[in-house]
Structure 1
Amino acid sequence: MHIIPLSDSAGAAVFLGPNVGPLFTQMGIMDEYIAKSKACSTIRVFNEKRKLDFVLDFSLHHEMSGFEGRLIPRKVLYEIIMAQVPATRIHMGKRMLWTTQGGNGVLVEFSDGSVAEGDILVGADGTYSAVRQCLYNRLKKDNKLPLTDAKELPFSCVCIAGYTGPLDPEKFPFLNDEQSSITNMRSLDKPYSWNILAVKDNKMCWNSTLYLDEKTAKFHNNFRSTDWGEGGADSMCNDVRDFPIPGGDGTLTLGDLIDNTPKDQMVKILLEEKVFDTWYHCRTVLIGDVSDVEKAFKAYQDERHAVALQAAAHSKNMCKFYGKANDRSAALTRFVFKKMPFWLWTRMMVKMIVNRPQASFLPAVPNTGTVPPADPDSYRETLKIVRAREAERPAGTGTYAATV
């Protein structure tokens, strides 16, 4: 179920690390994914004078994992994934109002008067998840919601992002490069950073982030419901259009990209960082799958919560890395990255790619990298279930599971 009538196609590029390689291979979408994306193994950091400050190179990821990181427009990624699902199983324009759950299943009520029933309810609809809000409201009424989960979502950034139409490679010569790069720009006197990313078909994705202090955060919070999404981008576009970007004849700005970006391919959003402590209750879980409901949900949270906390910490560090140049914490983070010895950077890269999940019910993809993938309990446990079911099948009906 999705709340809007059409798939959300606005916004910039998604960088997917080697972590998704095995799963995309299992799903049979790897070839299309590669054809519609660009390899990316560097982050290039420029100052406002368009001078290169330093480069982070993670090209070793390919050797370590057997896969490489790639940049793909979010719209294109949606199209690839949604094409794998029968249209009859995707229902757009459905606004969830409330859920009722118990020992026999879950009932979901929608604003159009329709209802849906199922064994479990999985909420995968983002920070403002209607599933999460319904779950938390119920827990709050029952005095079972932790205080940390009851607090308002903290936010410190406003971001505008866009996906251009086709551009002239003569004006933007880096479009011809086989490999792309995450190009980050910073200012010494503005509370902004901005990024440009070359993608397929002579197009570019771009974004600019405004870093808020206590006063400006309060101001933007007042317009949280009225100045966001695809229609709320115009004013911020005017604020950032003169920001310089590297390449071409040395005079390019974000405005050159904004002017070539369709209105429905721009979006303005708040960026929040919070890892909730409550991931499930009864037959509702905020992301994941299930066999034995409560036991599986608990095992899922026990396994993934630590990973989520680690990812949130990494995200905060990267926000500091991309952050405004005159922020001390951001400056220190960039200094550490810039001066980091190669052996330490290598260890960090290993941590980035060790988690390369696979689906236990699909044929396994052998590891071809020098770094073995993590072996999570959930994969081994579900693999046992799959093999047990295969053993019960009549001979000649085929098997699916294999050892990685």
Structure 2
Amino acid sequence: MTEKNSGPTVLIVGAGTGGLMLALLCEKGNIPYQVFEKSRALRPLGSAIALNKISHVFEQVGIMDEVEAYSKSFGGLHLLDQDLHCQGTFYARYPGVPQRETYGYTSPVMARPDLIRILASRIPTEKLHFNKRVIATHQDDTQVTITCADNTTYSGTILVGTDGAYSSIRQNMFKELEAKGLMHTCDAEPMHSDYDCVVGVTGPMDTEKYPLLKEELCEFKIVMGKTLPMTWWFMPLMDPELGPRVGWMITKDNTAWNKMNKGNNSNNDDKSTQGSSSDWSANAAKEMCDLVKDMPCPLGGVVGDIFDKTPKEQITKVVLEDKFYQSWYHGRTVLLGDACHKMLPFGGMGASMAIMSAVALANILYEDLPTTQEEVTKAFKEYYNERSGWGQQSVDGSRKTGYFMHKQGFLGNMIRRIGLNWIPTWLIKMGTNAYNEYRPHIVFLPFTTFKGTYQSGRTNTPSERWLASQNHTAVAI
């Protein structure tokens, strides 16, 4: 079956945070679009995500109240040793740099499934297609067509690949680049992989047993293993219906693990000890959980108690990889989010970067949805120029943060001691000011007013097309 859209249409492949935000922006901007997701339904997987520098975007699209209801504001990060002795803290509140007072917003921390659900609830069901795994793409000077595993095809003006680290859209685009001799050598190299990870979100938790969950702010508790090259993370979350929950993550430094186990039984069948395992099974996740289940938990009890409170179908094992791709677009195809800049989760930037890239692309498409190949290429180049620098910076930053969190021995301890205890607040504020200096808005929706004491004065400007439409509406009234 072939479906052809009348007029210019944006085909969005992937219903993650980036794809759903782009769809919501297209909906708000009256940009024709369709979303295609390979899963049969939205999958409630993942752990907590910290949403940095984008609260004003949620306010613009009208979901801030719901985001706040399902989140806690980030208050700080506490790094503990295996015996739960605090090694240092980064504060996003007093005595550090108070985020809300300084920048007008705090960073919401919420369960990834909750954000996915909130975004998807704003997308008309007829525009969100499930069980559509893309197996092939074809593009020419006039249109781009996707072919799905169920033998359906869809055509549009441009194709946006927001389908994650193993993006089928990127793979098809790279095949075309390689056939034309246009492939960047570094893009053909595999993703950089050093860590295995298990994530989950608990069900409702008893605040009498876990009193730390009563705190208003989300204070990350990160335990660094001493006998194991691993970390285990705990992030208090809020659900207005279910009550307090906990997002958690276990990471294992495979390089250090393999060195530690060098010379051990080479026939060890424990897949969790074999470097960058690609085993996503429930057994593989359990094997990693078993390594730390008897460790003391900073929220109370032992770590295994947190696992027991987590629905088994929501515990997921993944391989943490990172890579910045040089090629973000070709022909009528463009990439967004993990498809073009996969980063480690340690810096908390993956979802925020995807959302801000969706804003940048939607702003460009709103002004004049490109139709000719020349217009499409110009639009994609503008998008790349705006977002690629941030993408490279975030990938590099997440890798450095992973090193900071996992490096063991004297050097690692000294780096953390200096980074978390000896850097003065004024220097930290310089860094956070620089990070918040430029906060772009959605150009076709009413702008927000930044309320904090820090006013950089740097944002983008409203769309002239949108301003004209508002003036016309005002005159008509």
Is TM > 0.5 for Structure 1 vs Structure 2? yes
CA distances 1:262-283 after superposition (whole Å, capped 9, x unpaired): 1111111111121111111111
1:238-291 per-residue CA deviation (whole Å, 9 max, x = no partner) reads: 22212322143xxx2210100111111111111112111111111111023434
* Structure 2 residue 292 is the aligned partner of structure 1 residue 240: yes
CA distance in 2, matches of 1:124, 1:109: 16
1:371-382 pair list within 5 angstroms: 371-372=454-455, 375=458, 379-380=460-461
How far off its partner does 1:321 sit?
A: 2.8
Q: Which residue of 2 aligns with 1:44?
A: 78
5 Å-filtered alignment, 1:83-122, equals 83-122=121-160
Give the alignment's Cα RMSD to 1 decimal. Answer: 2.3
Residue matched to 2:62? 28
Q: Does 1:276 align with 2:325?
A: yes
Residue 330 of structure 1: CA displacement?
A: 6.9
2:299, 2:381 → 1: CA distance? Answer: 50
Q: Distance in 2 between matches of 1:246 and 1:138?
A: 51
Q: Which residue of 2 aligns with 1:357?
A: 440
Matches within 5 A, 1:185-224: 185-200=223-238, 201-213=243-255, 216=258, 219-221=274-276, 223-224=277-278
> Is 2:208 aligned against 1:170?
yes
- Residue 149 of structure 1: SS of its match in structure 2? helix
Give the Cα–Cα distance (whole angstroms) in 2 for the partners of residues 330 and 278 of structure 1.
38
**176 and 31 in structure 1: CA distance in 2 versus 1, 3 angstrom threshold:** same
Residue 324 of structure 1: CA displacement? 4.4
Matched position secondary structure for 2:154: strand
Aligned residue identity for 1:45: L
Matched, 1:136 2:158: no
Is 1:317–1:333's contact at 8 Å kept on the other side of the alignment? no
**Secondary structure, counterpart of 2:323 in structure 1:** coil
Question: Residue by residue, what CA displacement relative to the aligned partner does 1:102-156 show, whole Å, maximum 9, x if unpaired?
Answer: 2111100000000111110011111111111111111111110100101011111
CA contact (8 A) 2:196 2:319 kept: yes
Deviation of 1:192 (Å) = 0.2
Question: How big is the shift at 1:14?
Answer: 0.8
Give unpaired runs (5+ residues) of structure 2: 1-35, 259-271, 337-360, 370-374
The amino acid across from 1:15 in the alignment is A
> What displacement does 1:323 show?
1.6
* Separation in 2, partners of 1:280, 1:204: 38
CA distance in 2, matches of 1:48, 1:220: 23
Residues 352 and 373 of structure 1: CA distance in aligned 2, closer, same or farther (over 3 Å)? same
* Structure 1 residue 306, shift from structure 2 partner: 1.0
Amino acid of the residue matched to residue 305 of structure 1?
A: S
Matched AA of 2:453: T
Match 2:381 to one of 287, 298, 309: 298
- How much has 1:352 moved relative to structure 2? 3.1
Identity %: 28
- In structure 2, relative to structure 1, the CA distance for the partners of 1:220 and 1:6 (3 Å cut) is farther
Describe the superposition over 1:314-360 as per-residue Cα deviations: whole angstroms up to 9, x where unpaired.
21232123224337357525523321111111112223333433211
Deviations 1:219-241 (A, max 9, x none): 344x42xx116674222122221
- Structure 1: how far apart are the matches of 2:404 and 2:192? 19
* TM, length-normalised to structure 2: 0.76
The secondary structure found in structure 2 opposite 1:321 is helix
Aligned mate of 1:3, from 38, 52, 63: 38
How far, CA to CA, are the matches of 1:128 and 1:310 in structure 2? 21
2:54 is paired with a residue whose SS is: helix
Amino acid across the alignment from 1:2: E
Alignment counterpart, residue 64 of structure 1, candidates 97, 102, 113: 102
What letter is aligned with 1:196?
Answer: F
- Out of 299, 305, 315, the residue aligned to residue 398 of structure 2 is 315
Q: Compute the displacement of 1:370 (Å).
A: 2.8
Q: Match for 1:370 among 433, 453, 462?
A: 453
Partner of 2:351: none
TM-score for the superposition, normalised by structure 1 = 0.89
Tell me which moved more, 351-360 or 52-61: 351-360
Structure 1 unpaired stretches of 5+: 399-404
Taking the aligned partners of 2:318 and 2:108, their CA distance within structure 1 comes to: 23
- 1:186–1:324: 8 Å Cα contact kept in structure 2? no
Contact 1:356 1:374 in 2 (8 A): no
Distance 2:316 2:437 in 1: 33
Q: CA deviation at 1:394?
A: 6.8
Counterpart contact for 2:87–2:417, Cα < 8 Å: no
Indicate the SS of the match to 1:233. helix
